[in-house]
Amino acid sequence: GLCLVTYEKLKEKDYLDIEMDVPGFSKSIRAVCQVAWTKDLQKSDDKGRRLFYVGVKINKIKPENEAILLTHLYTLKDINTKS
């Protein structure tokens, strides 16, 4: 799953069609996700908009998009474990 930051509080079990740009890859990827949980950050962005953490479970993603996402996530893991 993923943790997103949103400007609105979403309902648990809602479905989202998400499109993401992944650093280092030329095309964006898409996935269908389901909201697992939400949390109010109790703060606003620089424009005064409320912020929420939203945990989502990836329900449907093309294999090539999954490979791109996993490659990026493993790269982040490697960077964070080398410190």
Say if pTM beats, i.e. exceeds, 0.75. yes
pLDDT digits (tens, 9 = 90+) for 4-18: 999 999 999 999 999
Say if residue 74's pLDDT is above 60. Answer: yes
Q: Please state the length of the chain.
A: 83
pLDDT digits (tens, 9 = 90+) for 16-72: 999 999 988 888 999 999 999 999 998 888 999 999 999 999 999 999 999 999 988
Q: In the prediction, which pLDDT does 50 show?
A: 92
Q: In the prediction, which pLDDT does 72 show?
A: 86
End-to-end CA distance of the chain: 24
CA distance 54 to 74: 21
